[in-house]
Each structure stands twice: as structure tokens, then as C-alpha cells.
Structure 1
Amino acid sequence: MNATAPLPPASGTVPNYLIWSIVVTVLAFFMCCVSCLSFPAIATGIVAIVFANKVNTLLNQGDLVAARQASKNAKIWAWVTTGILIAATLFSIIWLAFVGVDGYMEQIQQFQQQVESAS
């Protein structure tokens, strides 16, 4: 076999978790409007997307072992993102329960006033 010949695609099914990674990253992006705790979820979601994207590329290169490792990493980072997103959501719900919507709106107005006075 010639060393420069491309390898045939690896056989077997390796999940890439791309859809899951994208969904939780997009949800984290929208959640950042409510809670700053979701910013880490955006970062970990991007990492999950990168690993998920590698899976098919590695399979096409014939590297089944690396594709499985990328799949495992994508799954781990998707779970981390999901966990952070759940924690941020629970924190936001608990915070709104104690502060209330009126207190939340007051804080937003104070923030707007600070931004306007700074510019």
C-alpha cells in the first residue's frame, strides 16, 4: 500500500453529538440575557461543537480511534454545557422568586441609567 494513498473511511457508527452541542450553545446564548452564569456555557458549547465537528472528518480519514475520542469529548462538553445551562436556569428562577419581577425591572432600569450616564 502506498503511504500517500488516502485511507478508506472507517467503518462503524460514531455519534457526533453535533445537534445537541448546537442546541445547548444556542440556548446558552439566549439565556445570557437573563443570567451572566450562562457565559461559561457558551464557551463550553463552542468546545463541544468543535469536537462534534471533528468526528465525521476523522471518520472520513479512516481514523476510527480518534473519531471515537472526539465523540467522547463532544459528549462530555455537551453534558458540561447542559449542566451549566440547567444551573443558570435554576439560579435565575430562584433569583426571580426572591427578587421578583419588579425588583428585576428596577435593576435593569438602574443599569440603563448607569450606561446612559457613562456615555
Structure 2
Amino acid sequence: MRGLAAALLLTACAAGGETACPAGTQSATVAEAYFGRNVRDRDPVSEAEWRAFLSDTVTPAFPDGLSAVESLGQWRNRDGRIIQEASKVLVVVLPGADAATAQARLRPVEEAWKARFRQESVMTVFRQACVGF
């Protein structure tokens, strides 16, 4: 049974992960970007700085809508320590877009965040979904 499930999953991935959506919905890519707020050698990114970034960088890139959620991120550092930091999760639903298109649209926002707040990376997740409005 596991072999069949794995084969079906691989087939779906090879076909671009397309999903047959129920009536009243459409296929979309959901992009999630995780923005850590710790900044080396200064205070963490403030709420005012986040709102300014949202206004001048994110909103022009995604004028049709988005959601931003408070989060607490955690990972294991190279030396084995567990590191936690406040973060923001940006969720963007892009009807009709594939993951490559979503990534291309999100990349300038990620790069702007890294440059503005001296971040090494922004974690991103792309998944297919059926959405209805």
C-alpha cells in the first residue's frame, strides 16, 4: 500500500502537483514566507519597521491581498543551541499561478528584507491548494 501511495505522490509531483478543484474553487499556489525579526548588533525589527516594510515593499508586490501573522520561530544553531525569535509569516494566495511564478514574485520581497535587516535568509514554503472567494 505504501508503494502505491508513493507512486501516486510522485505522479502528482511529476504532473506539476495540479489538483482537481471542487466546484466554486480554483487552483492556486499558496506562498508562505517566514521573516525572522532578530537583527545582529541591534534591537529586533520593531512593529513600526515591519509595517513600513509591509507598506512600501510587500503591498506593492501583492496588491490583490495578503495576510501577515505573528509567529515564534525556533531552530537549532550550528553549535547545537536552540534559538528562538519573533517572526512574521506572510501568506499570499496566487490563483492560477504555479510555484515557479509565485517564487519569482516573492523573491524581490525576500531580498529586500535580507538587505534592509541584514538577514541571512527568509524561509519560504510553496504549496498547491484549491481556493474560493
- TM-score (ref. length: structure 2): 0.30
Indicate the structure with greater helix content.
1
- TM-score (ref. length: structure 1): 0.33
Indicate the structure with greater strand content.
2
Bigger relative contact order, structure 1 or 2, given CA contacts below 8 A and separation 6+? 2
